[in-house]
Chain A
Amino acid sequence: MPVNEKTGEFTPKIVAFCCNWCSYAGADLAGSSRLAYPAEVKIIRVPCSCRVNPMFILRAFEKGADGVIICGCHPGDCHYSTGNYYARRRMTLLFSMLDYLGVESGRTRVEWVSAAEGVKFSTTMNEFAAKIHELGPNVRLEDLRCKNN
């Protein structure tokens, strides 16, 4: 479990897959607007939310993530017209499967964040990080090889 050296508190690792056209720009706006969001959130830029393969999410958990959030353009606003519609179905089914296997459903989330929504980006990340703090470290999708080495 990653722990803050000073306070001894649990510091989760959160992976945010952000689409290049909306959400990544949203994060940028949050930054330039000086809106705070937790340093625990690590952003991975993807061309489209639809690029996120279910395996990316499982791999993130395997390598030590405690929460994974996928951000894309609002439905209807996809740079490629329809990518996020496909992503929406895929992620719904994947999250449902994880819930079915007994993995806490709060560890995964999808949020639509546009390039103009710096505030939404920051509040979403704060909310999500708070949720992960509440859930604690990921143990049900951990890979001990990565945890111990």
Chain B
Amino acid sequence: MQEQLINRAKELLADGTVVRVLGWRRGDMDYNPEVAYFNSADELNDFVYNGFCGANLSKYMIEASKLEGRTLVFLKPCDTYSFNQLLTEHRVDRDKAYIIGVGCRGKLDIEKIKAQGITGITGITGTPDAVKVSTIYGDFDIACKDIRLERCHVCKGKEHRVYDELIGESADTRDADRMAGVEAIEAMSPEEKFAFFRAELSKCIRCNACRNVCPACSCRKCVFDSTKFDSAQKANTTSFEEKMFHIIRAFHVAGRCTDCGECSRVCPQGIPLHLFNRKFIKDINELYGDYQAGESADQRAPLVSYTFEDAEPGIVSERGSK
């Protein structure tokens, strides 16, 4: 598929449809391709599309929309939800984007490979079903289903929601219940819940990677960067600030989060940040009707709409801690 994508990108550059290409460039290891702009056919020789191209390029389209000319962007099925959501919010310009919907059969998580005790990786090759990891300490064969990104286990489906053309086959890799993690926490006692989040959040280093990678976090000036807001400190000084940051981060994207899973993917401390976002998604689905952000560009987000019969906030204590 990679060859096909490169060739098509070269064609579109040559005929002037687009002036630049937003994609992934080969990294210095097989597992760390980086997001890159390509301005010429020559540069496209470093273009790569493999199992480690997890990065959601929709976020980069916010900046690309401000550039002169059209940008060719490659979006995986789940990335198109984010793009749609950004369209709804007028943060990207549809006319500035030429979208190729790329096939996706699930993306891989290098952390899960490393968690198996594999280190000294010199190369990773493979098929959609299994990879061969070569290391200086020996070679390993691993089934892809064991090393997929968390988000791929709860895949939203193989449909691209917005595109100009499609290249490559996609597969629905869903093999887990999306809300299972949230339900497991809801079933805990308040003490257990508190201990669980305390342990997870105490790892947070406030690097803001979760916020900066998030396609829904598109404010020009984040409230946590404001010099006029004294709760928004740069470091986690106390346990309160950890909670404050993560509650507010998730709240600000509630109803707009497409559950693309980028926050959990990039967290250097492996905090399952999707558990915050999914809790809001679950509550919204249960209280205000099923809603999938980014499914189409003309939906009204649940937190900017209401019905007369909405549940009262007291429902939280009525439902109680299970």
- The answer on direct contact between A and B (beta carbons under 8 Å) is yes
A interface residues with partner B (beta carbon < 8 Å): 54-55, 58-59, 61-62, 75-76, 82, 85-86, 88-106, 108-110, 140-145
Query: Contact at B310–A93, with CB atoms within 8 Å?
Result: no
Other-chain contact of B243, A93, A99, A101, A145 (Cβ < 8 Å):
A101
Other-chain contact of A62, B190, B240, B306 (Cβ < 8 Å):
B240
The interface residues of chain B lying within 8 Å CB-to-CB of A143 are 238, 240-241
- Interface of A, secondary structure class, is helix
**Best-surrounded residue of A89, A97, A98 (most CB of chain B within 10 A):** A89
Query: Contact at A92–B303, with CB atoms within 8 Å?
Result: no
**Smallest distance from the beta carbon of B1 to chain A beta carbons, Å?**
40
How far is A88 from B185 in the complex, measured between Cα atoms in Å? Answer: 24
Other-chain contact of B237, A61, A104, A142, A145 (Cβ < 8 Å):
A145
Is B297's beta carbon under 8 Å from chain A?
no
Query: Contact at B279–A110, with CB atoms within 8 Å?
Result: no
How far is A97 from B313 in the complex, measured between Cα atoms in Å? Answer: 12
Residue in chain A with minimal CB distance to B303: A89
Mask for B289-322, Cβ within 8 A of A = 1, else 0?
Answer: 0000000000000111011101111111100110
The interface residues of chain B lying within 8 Å CB-to-CB of A92 are 283, 287, 310-313, 315-316
Mask for B91-135, Cβ within 8 A of A = 1, else 0?
Answer: 000000000000000000000000000000000000000000000
B interface residues with partner A (beta carbon < 8 Å): 182, 185-186, 188, 190-197, 223, 231, 237-241, 243-244, 247-248, 250-251, 254, 276, 279-280, 283-284, 287-288, 302-304, 306-308, 310-317, 320-321
How far is A55 from B241 in the complex, measured between Cα atoms in Å? Answer: 11
Given contacts A58-B247, A89-B310, A92-B283, contact A101 B194 (CB under 8 A): yes
The interface residues of chain A lying within 8 Å CB-to-CB of B195 are 102
Other-chain contact of B185, A98, A100, A144 (Cβ < 8 Å):
A100
Residue in chain B with minimal CB distance to A112: B312
Residue in chain B with minimal CB distance to A62: B240
Residue in chain A with minimal CB distance to B231: A59
The interface residues of chain B lying within 8 Å CB-to-CB of A96 are 279, 283, 316
Query: Contact at A54–B197, with CB atoms within 8 Å?
Result: no
Given contacts A93-B251, A100-B186, contact A140 B321 (CB under 8 A): no
**Smallest distance from the beta carbon of A107 to chain B beta carbons, Å?**
10
Residue in chain B with minimal CB distance to A92: B313
Given contacts A58-B247, A93-B254, A143-B238, contact A85 B306 (CB under 8 A): yes
The interface residues of chain A lying within 8 Å CB-to-CB of B196 are 102
Query: Contact at B250–A102, with CB atoms within 8 Å?
Result: no
The interface residues of chain B lying within 8 Å CB-to-CB of A100 are 182, 185-186, 193, 279
How far is A22 from B241 in the complex, measured between Cα atoms in Å? Answer: 33
Given contacts A141-B240, A145-B238, contact A95 B316 (CB under 8 A): yes
